[in-house]
A and B are shown apart, each in its own frame.
Chain A
């Protein structure tokens, strides 16, 4: 059990929006009585100018720092969020909420549908990245914050950052988009489809109604995780970590996990099903597949950022990320420049693949710290 510090426990709760404040959805539907689970760290200052919203990735949650209540591990971004770190509760009021559609306390497919008294399952409406962001904006307003100092996120969190800039450009001063893309590519969609099909092929999925029937499609969800996890690493990182190392002396001449890499992936899959809901995985991967800021009604990614001229952007990519490769970040930066926004771009040299955004990357840490400090000064002057 990790030691708990006062800053880690400052805000931890679920906000329930009244029925007269439904979440309107891109699909045309809406969610009444939306619940969002969130955590905050630090204190909102008197002029409410130090709020930073962190947006989480596909399988992560609001426990960005501090201790995770389910796993007991430290928060997923504890390398960047904490005293003396770039996102510092001593200076910033840090907010992180579980996305709508998630399974860590926010309304999602495993929530109870009040009309039936049973979990929504596949009757839950399909949600989008913009829906997630709209829900976050409601939370931010409810916390009494008109304009965020910064919105920060990696991977799917980075997509939310871009969506924030597109939909609420006047409500953020700075934006940090890490290891993301302006739209899902065919390959991105393809990998997600493999994961979804693995879940749906599990007999315990039961058409999404496993929650009612008291079973869980653990095997399917584990396979989905295993396939996805490969995309978060790089060929050279896998080779360096595992090579062809065996679990035991000699081959089994069968289908046990002979190779360490097999054992590792099986462990990743098994650990994942303890903390994640299969239907949430379907809904959130769908939201990512639907994400595309490049084909707005007025065309082009630059048009999506037209309102964001006054936002200071910092875009990060990693050289070995083949899930959202550097070229995607370059496309974002080019569009930001075309829109007249103030964009910075850093490509970090690493062989650790997409997951580098969660790992100890000193260049990311230092550049993020420098960018946020300079942005805070600039906001103070403006």
Chain B
């Protein structure tokens, strides 16, 4: 998993999140984002993290964190526990992205998901000219080493959201070192331009997520 433009994606998330809300960060690492959200927005945060080192670091920062992963441990929480569930640069690495998306919106009112965009022009150019799996800033590992088993383009992802009856409440294009740029994910040009993207999702009114 690359953490393309991670600081920018954190800043954008900190901008979007309502003060004092309840937040779950899935794959919270050492808790940098949760600490940022606690200090800037006074959120009540929880984390899920797979590595014991990350979990230990979170504990020493006073964060409540559970060792686990997105594929199997979102059922730790009852429905509607959180205002936001954040899944940063992880959905493409889970076994069952469709199931995980459903779970995010079972336990949270809104999901904030960031993804590398496989439709970015550099990826397309690499594949077109080299005929090899692209290795880019957002996707730095060769195909045999990457944990990204479910890569998709912005177009693919918006189609999945439609299929699952999810609203895209906001979307921003992310590029390393540059501020997040609000964007319309359904515009074909954006699918060429965005290196990675951030989506804010919610269920269509009163609809259980169709998995």
Residues in A lying within 8 Å of B, measured CB to CB: 312, 314, 330, 333-334, 337-338, 342-349, 363, 366-367, 369-371, 373-375, 377-378
Top 5 A-B residue pairs of the complex, sorted by shortest distance between their CB atoms: A370-B60, A374-B62, A345-B66, A370-B59, A371-B59
Interface size bracket, B side: 20 to 34
Q: Which residues of B have CB within 8 Å of A367?
A: 52, 55-56, 59
Which residues in window 18-71 of B have CB below 8 A to A?
Answer: 46, 52, 55-68
Q: Which residues of A have CB within 8 Å of B63?
A: 344, 374
Q: Which residues of B have CB within 8 Å of A344?
A: 55, 58-59, 63-66
- Inter-subunit contact A375/B62 (CB<8 Å): yes
Q: Which residues of A have CB within 8 Å of B46?
A: 342
Cα of A110 to Cα of B163 in the assembled complex, Å: 69
**Which residue of the partner chain, among A314, A333, A363, A377, contacts B52 with CB atoms under 8 Å?**
A363
- Inter-subunit contact A366/B56 (CB<8 Å): yes
Question: Who on chain B is nearest to A326 by CB?
Answer: B67
Give the Cβ gap from B22 to chain A, nearest Cβ, in Å.
10
- Inter-subunit contact A374/B66 (CB<8 Å): no
25 sampled A-B residue pairs with Cβ under 8 A:
A314-B59, A337-B78, A338-B77, A338-B78, A342-B46, A342-B64, A343-B66, A344-B55, A344-B58, A344-B59, A345-B66, A346-B55, A347-B67, A349-B52, A363-B52, A367-B52, A367-B56, A367-B59, A370-B61, A371-B60, A374-B61, A374-B62, A374-B63, A375-B62, A377-B62
Q: Which residues of B have CB within 8 Å of A342?
A: 46, 64
- Inter-subunit contact A312/B59 (CB<8 Å): no
**Interface SS majority for chain B:** mixed
- Inter-subunit contact A369/B64 (CB<8 Å): no
- Inter-subunit contact A334/B64 (CB<8 Å): no
Q: Which residues of A have CB within 8 Å of B78?
A: 337-338
**Interface SS majority for chain A:** helix
**Interface Cβ pair total, 8 Å cutoff:** 63
Q: Which residues of B have CB within 8 Å of A370?
A: 56-57, 59-61
Give the Cβ gap from B69 to chain A, nearest Cβ, in Å.
11
Give the Cβ gap from B191 to chain A, nearest Cβ, in Å.
38
Give the Cβ gap from A75 to chain B, nearest Cβ, in Å.
24
Give the Cβ gap from A158 to chain B, nearest Cβ, in Å.
17
Cα of A374 to Cα of B75 in the assembled complex, Å: 27
Question: Who on chain B is nearest to A376 by CB?
Answer: B62
Cα of A338 to Cα of B79 in the assembled complex, Å: 9
Q: Which residues of B have CB within 8 Å of A338?
A: 77-78
Q: Which residues of A have CB within 8 Å of B76?
A: 330, 333-334, 337
Give the Cβ gap from B63 to chain A, nearest Cβ, in Å.
8
Question: Who on chain A is nearest to B78 by CB?
Answer: A338
Per-position binary interface string of chain B over residues 180-202, scored 1 when its CB falls under 8 Å from any chain A CB and 0 otherwise? 00000000000000000000000
- Say yes or no for B81: interface residue by CB 8 A criterion: yes
- Inter-subunit contact A337/B77 (CB<8 Å): yes
Q: Which residues of A have CB within 8 Å of B58?
A: 344
Give the Cβ gap from B70 to chain A, nearest Cβ, in Å.
15
| A-B contacts besides A334-B77, A337-B81, A370-B56, 13 pairs, CB < 8 Å | A333-B66, A334-B76, A337-B77, A338-B77, A342-B46, A343-B66, A344-B58, A345-B66, A345-B67, A349-B52, A363-B56, A367-B56, A373-B60
- Inter-subunit contact B67/A378 (CB<8 Å): no
Cα of A337 to Cα of B56 in the assembled complex, Å: 19
CB contact under 8 A between A348 and B52, given known A334-B75, A337-B81: yes
- Inter-subunit contact A346/B64 (CB<8 Å): no
Give the Cβ gap from A304 to chain B, nearest Cβ, in Å.
16
Give the Cβ gap from B146 to chain A, nearest Cβ, in Å.
24
CB contact under 8 A between A346 and B81, given known A314-B59, A333-B66, A374-B62: no
Cα of A374 to Cα of B63 in the assembled complex, Å: 8
Question: Who on chain B is nearest to A377 by CB?
Answer: B62
Q: Which residues of B have CB within 8 Å of A373?
A: 60
